[in-house]
Amino acid sequence: MSIVLSEQELQRRQALTALEQLGINPYPANAFEINATASDILENYERDKLNYKNIRIAGRMMSRRVMGSASFIELQDATGRVQAYLKRDDLCPDEDKTLYNTVFKKLLDIGDFIGITGFVFTTNTGEISIHVQELTLLAKSLKPLPVVKSADGKTFDAVTDPEFRYRQRYVDLVINPQVRDTFAKVSKVKTSIRDFLNERGALEVDTPVLQPIPGGAAARPFITHHNALDIPLYLRIANELYLKRLIVGGYDWVYEFSRNFRNEGMDRTHNPEFTVLEFYVAYKDYLWMMEITEKLFEHVALATNGNTTLQVGDQEINFAAPYPRVSIYDAIKEHTGFEVDGMDEGGLRDVCKQLGIPTTESMGKGKLIDEIFGEQCEHHYIQPTFIIDYPVEMSPLTKKHRSKADLVERFELMVNGKELANAYSELNDPIDQRIRFEEQLKLMERGDDEAMFVDYDFLRALEYGMPPTAGIGIGIDRLAMLMTNQQSIQDVLFFPQMRPEKGVKHAGLEDYKAQGIPEEWIPVLQKMGFNTIETLKAANPNKVFNDLGGLRKKMKLDIPMPTKEEVLKWFE
RNA sequence: GACUCCGUAGCUCAGCUGGUAGAGCAACUGACUCUUAAUCAGUGGGUCCAGAGUUCGAAUCUCUGCGGGGUCACCA
């Protein structure tokens, strides 16, 4: 990040000083009470004109069109943009026209926060506008915003560079209104889920993010260290085992929006931290869970988009309940022609070979079936579909199927070719659970670095008894992507993970001062490209002295020129 | 992690087969009392991502690095 200021930044800082000299505080402490918003005015003025005679509104000045003694600006607040009209002699009824001629025309810039009072009217060209009677600077903006213009629904010079947008999301939000809309919808997805669950008596809870054993999922965790306890701690990869402990404790419906952390690759659908909604309900099974899940998704679609059918990319997806249920074996049979039900590990390995799916020695039966489904079937399920009844090997926390051998009572909800939710009748048999954990240990020994750790406290909890329970995890970021029709997880997270910005190497102010350089000349040297003391010392002192004079004139700097002897000392 | 594309003014982008940079918006000076991508006249603004190499000469060619996007691998 450069500390060297651009021409426009210098101009804005000069405007800041000029404002202070006029007795105007560019960052006043006073509250500015408003009684209207942009969208309120645009929506309601026409049918209720009397109520808009005396309005107060605040926001950023986003454009300025000056025509001598009258001007139009666009004011942007949290709700949108409204045009305002300023007339010199209305704004400054007395002799002194400084507020209009100097403050407004010269010292305000695009991006500044201002508050205005006035009355609403309609211009000759038919645009609802505010006739400004008073103008107050609320906060000066020192960095120029990208200027995005639009007309007739077309947008010009929009900032689309993903790096710019994600690193400086605050700017993205200011200049790209549809981004604010997207995040409002993301928020609506979460509140609509909370409403749905709270109405049904569920209890929202918080469980540890820092866990001594990263349990509840198969994934590589982030590891950290607690100094006082002198133990390693893991950032949670899931909260499942903690929520089930709460069911043991006697709650019958708990949920948590769990920020999870997984130390794995990043791409369009993966961020190192992401949010999963999990909920657990006592005395229910996975069949009940499918019914509540399809109702929940229908509810979320209606709450966020007002419709159960929505456009996602080039697909139209209908979230209206109910959704079809297909067993994983039937899915594989339908899309590959292979009947894998009852096959042993060797047979599955052979099927993978025929389908061209690479396998490794560490893959067990469950993993092989998972691979076949993932490669050959998953992408076919565009409309919401429950894939049910998974093999026991890939589901160590799931209750065995009530009627089908070697299967568990589990479903995944597939939408748009991707897994959106994962749920099951929870395994509550502590002896079986211990055996399943031990099988995971064996997988770990075979080299599966995602096999689960054994959580003995969780086993102890199950030994006290857990009622039959249905549980589910829903990927909230991916759900938000669907509901907002975004192609990248980065567009539903305010601050997606990025490699840290590396500033160009710069000497600090103290380094310059240590060379005996007066503070006011430091920006000039930086402007000349001497960002380190080393590069300065490598330069020709005579040339530097001459250039200082040149820049002093060019930048119209009102600071005394140092003598040549003084400058020569900088090089010692 | 692999492959691939990209990095030029505050922003959006030009810049051919090498001759050290242009446009629009933004900014500055001026004109203009209902404009709306306001208009008109004029002016300034650049470590062309960084470093090395080839060359008389590099924004341009080569290599290395940094940052980002896309595809794949891993995963949710």
Quick one: average pLDDT of A511-535? 65
The predicted-structure confidence for A446-458, as pLDDT tens digits, reads as follows 777 667 788 999 9
Q: Which long-range contacts (CB under 8 A, 24 or more apart) does A337-344 make?
A: A338/A372, A340/A369, A340/A372, A342/A406
Nearest alpha-carbon partner for A371 in A344, A392, A351: A351
Which one-letter DSSP state was computed for residue A492? T
Contacts of A145 (CB under 8 A, 6+ apart): A62, A110, A111, A171, A174, A175
DSSP A36-95: --HHHHHHHTTT-GGGGSSEEEEEEEEEEEEETTEEEEEEEETTEEEEEEEEHHHH--SS
Give tens-digit pLDDT for A471-503: 999 999 999 999 999 989 999 999 999 888 765
Q: Which nucleotide is nearest to A166 (CA to C1')?
A: B68
pLDDT tens per residue across span A41-86: 999 999 999 999 999 999 999 999 999 999 999 999 999 999 999 9
Model confidence at A2: pLDDT above 50: no
Distance A7 CA to B43 C1' (A): 14
Q: Does the C-beta of A218 come within 7 A of strand B? A: yes
Instruction: Record the pTM.
Output: 0.87
Measure the CA angle with vertex A469, ends A256 and A438; round to 5°: 95
Mark the nucleotides of strand B covered by protein, meaning any atom under 7 Å from a CB.
1, 9-13, 24-29, 31-39, 44-47, 49-50, 66-76
Q: How confident is the model at residue A433 (pLDDT cuts 50, 70, 90)?
A: very high
Residues 247-286 of A with CB under 7 A from strand B: 262, 264-272, 274
Position A439 scores a pLDDT of: 85
- Is A120 in contact with A128 (CB distance < 8 Å)? yes
Q: How many CB atoms lie within 10 A of CB A249?
A: 11
Lowest mean pLDDT among A70-84, A312-326, A548-562: A548-562
Structure tokens at A383: 């409309």
Q: What are phi and psi of A270, to 5 degrees?
A: -130, 130
- What is the rounded distance in angstroms from the CA atom of residue A442 to the CA atom of residue A451? 9
- Strand B near-CB residues (< 7 Å), A 155-184: 156-164, 166
* Torsion A53-A57-A63-A66 (CA) sign: positive
The per-residue DSSP string of A9-35 comes to HHHHHHHHHHHHHTT--SS--S----S
Cα–Cα–Cα angle for A518, A523, A527, rounded to 5 degrees: 135
Which residue, A376, A380, A471, is CA-closest to A418? A380
ipTM of this model? Answer: 0.90
Identify nearest nucleotide to residue A126 by CA to C1′ distance: B34
- The protein residue nearest nucleotide B49, judged by CA to C1', is A504
| β-strand partners of A210 | A235
> Are A144 and A9 a contacting pair, CB within 8 Å?
yes
pLDDT recorded at residue A341: 86
